[in-house]
Structure 1
């Protein structure tokens, strides 16, 4: 043990001696680095990989690195680091970023040589930068490559027969001797350089129309917009658009630029066609309307402020359905236990909430298993100790009658009449813990 301790102490002593030797050999501030720029262009294009050559030396002190740093308007936008193990010449490249809205101008390339004593020498060169004048662009889709022709400075277009929606990313060819292929895709609801996520171009209908892109501003078109009561709907994804509105009872709702609107399914609890108009059928308040282009129907959900409504302690707010055997616009879009698909009951005033369903279309005729919740998600829910019903066809589960507490089921030996319309109304006028469900066959 004693010998082991002696060996350890000897090792520490030797390490200290070596460290002192290193410190003595390379004291901070020692040396005199020399940097010469041997090759460097005086101009370049945005998107280039700019080549350069530097020669480096010192008065005997070892070198560490050369850093090439590119500055736009005083901001460092790119950097290349070269390890200089020996004196001599080094070749390298630095990427010139391609940014939007940056005009032609002069950048600054700073070359910094540093030795092991942290002594530095710097050379600064001006670099004239220009935006590349691409001869064409390509719009790359899943099925074809569409060529966009140059129509002016930074502007590229194509006009041809196209489907109503065209999804793809834009690719610019390498420009000049040092250029790189550039891509423009869709990120955070806008066109971004460096992405290959598909841009969701869309038009009112299939046919001949123009797609355009500006490589300076990244402005792209067309993106078909949709409005409800003059409010432009926000795109959630390629097939879903949404808007939040404050609506009055029986107010007319105008949907603008929706193709074949007469063929869209309307949720009768919220919307109805009357004399060529679409009118609002629920209680006044703020609502979120989401257009589902996949299924061609409008999802309407109650709101409080900027959020989806939840049930308040006084019985106002909203009630939601999650579970099996129910779905809108039909059972192919069954809610199940996916909370994001929860259905909002229509507030109809007096702390009452209604959902209207057609047996065999929106609700199963012989098997249901759903329940009422206080929010669009897990949390507060109605169980059998706070929900009752005298219906002769739908029962409230209690945990021992075939359904979990609060889950609804169809009474054994009964079923809903296929094609018949049923109104389910939840009445909270006596309190949230004394909810009453009525089922009315129209």
Structure 2
């Protein structure tokens, strides 16, 4: 009963306070904004600057803003907001975006006028839009321009004496009285408008061959297709292609488009050669396989979902190497060092064991190493000297006072790896992540 009395008293006080106010200011929704479209194009092209002229007014209520929008179907693709402090004439321009796979059709110009009391008026105007029929396109390669001639609707082509790889971007000239230049470049996965990033055209042989592009579908050619077991590898950098794939141990690997694989360096921890065939050599799982066409080798990393794997609390996942004295395919030309982007992923071999195989003088320095094992490809969790041990007679684990930082590996004083010999480093986490055991075996 007491709570009810208190609430009643509070409501009484509130009514007195409200009653004493001279006025309560709220939007009244007054006025009646009007829009007169004085001029706009009767039709336009994609990539045009669309001019408009409107006259706005109200019934004595101050105006606030005029919003002008361009819609393709129901999607707003361009917009502009103008402050309308005064009644009268306002003009502006909207850019009609040039987009992939958008056919000729009717767009909508939407004018929305609002006054200071939040009352709005909306006017919709149809605007037929069509794709420009460019007479030509320009392929721009290192400052040199090749004219791509029209071969059919939206289809353009140029033939010349090109090398096997040629990178450039494509530029369409301004079309019509209100047109704008449109550029097409590489977005990492394909060709897109509004970019000048180099498109990596490629052909099996050099010489005279055509380069083509379609301004509707954005399909271009030629591109050499690289595949693993029938699935496309994606271009991630110049001459570097990658694919994420589920693999079983001993599964055959069939690469398409990669020529001269006999001369490639093959990481035996992940890939096993048997005659002219290649087989996957690590434990079953998902992996990212990257083909480096310049260095002619494969980089392999374990994955968890769509990300490179890290070490899990139960000892599964992945272990990575960061540090000095190791590098694939050659430590001299591609040492990992303390660059986390170059971290090496040990191959999971089952039973919470991880392996890296090296050749002294080639992929590992014979007389000096200073690297350590990490939980991820980057800084964070790592194996300190209290989390990993070894009984090796040639490799030791640093403790911070024995010549190496805690967890860093070194070569014992007076010892060195035998030049040309192959060594296998295996990290066993079956006893726990803080009880890792490193075994080093000379093959």
TM-score, normalisation: structure 1:
0.81
Tell me if structure 1 keeps the 8 A contact 2:162–2:209: yes
2:213 is paired with a residue of what secondary structure?
strand
Pairs within 5 Å for 1:355-366: 355-366=356-367
1:359-418 superposed Cα distances (whole Å, 9 cap, x missing partner)? 222111222111123333334433333433333322221211101122111122332233
Q: Structure 1 residues 387-396 or 56-65, which shifts more?
A: 56-65
Q: Which residue of 2 aligns with 1:127?
A: 127
Give the count of matched residue pairs: 421
1:192 is paired with a residue of what secondary structure?
strand
Q: Which residue of 2 aligns with 1:214?
A: 214
Tell me if structure 2 keeps the 8 A contact 1:140–1:146: yes
Q: Structure 1 residues 83-92 or 104-113, which shifts more?
A: 83-92
Q: Which residue of 1 aligns with 2:343?
A: 342
Tell me if structure 2 keeps the 8 A contact 1:205–1:259: no
1:334 is paired with a residue of what secondary structure?
coil
Q: Structure 1 residues 154-163 or 379-388, which shifts more?
A: 379-388
Q: Which residue of 2 aligns with 1:296?
A: 296
Question: What displacement does 1:329 show?
Answer: 0.7
How many Å separate the matches in 2 of 1:326 and 1:357?
A: 8
2:216 is paired with a residue of what secondary structure?
coil
2:253 is paired with a residue of what secondary structure?
coil
Q: Structure 1 residues 276-285 or 311-320, which shifts more?
A: 311-320
How many Å separate the matches in 2 of 1:349 and 1:117?
A: 71
1:336-369 superposed Cα distances (whole Å, 9 cap, x missing partner)? 2233322122334454433221222211122211
How many Å separate the matches in 1 of 2:38 and 2:352?
A: 82
Q: Structure 1 residues 163-172 or 343-352, which shifts more?
A: 343-352
Q: Which residue of 2 aligns with 1:387?
A: 388
Q: Which residue of 1 aligns with 2:43?
A: 43
> Is 2:179 aligned against 1:164?
no
1:89-115 superposed Cα distances (whole Å, 9 cap, x missing partner)? 555433223232222222333455666
Cα separation, partners in 2 of 1:180 and 1:325, compared to 1, 3 Å:
same
Q: Structure 1 residues 371-380 or 33-42, which shifts more?
A: 33-42
Tell me if structure 2 keeps the 8 A contact 1:204–1:259: no
Q: Which residue of 1 aligns with 2:21?
A: none
How many Å separate the matches in 1 of 2:152 and 2:61?
A: 55
Q: Structure 1 residues 215-224 or 329-338, which shifts more?
A: 215-224
Tell me if structure 1 keeps the 8 A contact 2:236–2:242: yes
Tell me if structure 1 keeps the 8 A contact 2:35–2:57: yes
1:235-254 superposed Cα distances (whole Å, 9 cap, x missing partner)? 33333322233444443321
2:379 is paired with a residue of what secondary structure?
coil
1:47-75 superposed Cα distances (whole Å, 9 cap, x missing partner)? 11123444566788776665544333344
Q: Which residue of 2 aligns with 1:260?
A: 260
1:365 is paired with a residue of what secondary structure?
coil
How many Å separate the matches in 2 of 1:89 and 1:248?
A: 70
Q: Structure 1 residues 250-259 or 171-180, which shifts more?
A: 250-259
How many Å separate the matches in 2 of 1:187 and 1:76?
A: 23
1:278 is paired with a residue of what secondary structure?
strand
Q: Structure 1 residues 84-93 or 327-336, which shifts more?
A: 84-93
2:341 is paired with a residue of what secondary structure?
helix
How many Å separate the matches in 1 of 2:84 and 2:304?
A: 64
Q: Which residue of 2 aligns with 1:319?
A: 319
Q: Which residue of 2 aligns with 1:200?
A: 200
TM-score, normalisation: structure 2:
0.81
Q: Which residue of 2 aligns with 1:94?
A: 94
How many Å separate the matches in 1 of 2:404 and 2:297?
A: 31
Question: What displacement does 1:179 show?
Answer: 0.8
Which stretches in structure 1 are left out of the alignment for 5+ residues?
A: 1-22
How many Å separate the matches in 1 of 2:55 and 2:306?
A: 62
Tell me if structure 1 keeps the 8 A contact 2:234–2:242: yes
How many Å separate the matches in 1 of 2:61 and 2:242?
A: 67
Cα separation, partners in 2 of 1:147 and 1:386, compared to 1, 3 Å:
same
How many Å separate the matches in 1 of 2:249 and 2:66?
A: 72
1:243 is paired with a residue of what secondary structure?
strand
Q: Structure 1 residues 176-185 or 160-169, which shifts more?
A: 160-169
> Is 2:169 aligned against 1:140?
no
How many Å separate the matches in 1 of 2:153 and 2:338?
A: 54
Cα separation, partners in 2 of 1:312 and 1:72, compared to 1, 3 Å:
closer
Cα separation, partners in 2 of 1:435 and 1:38, compared to 1, 3 Å:
closer
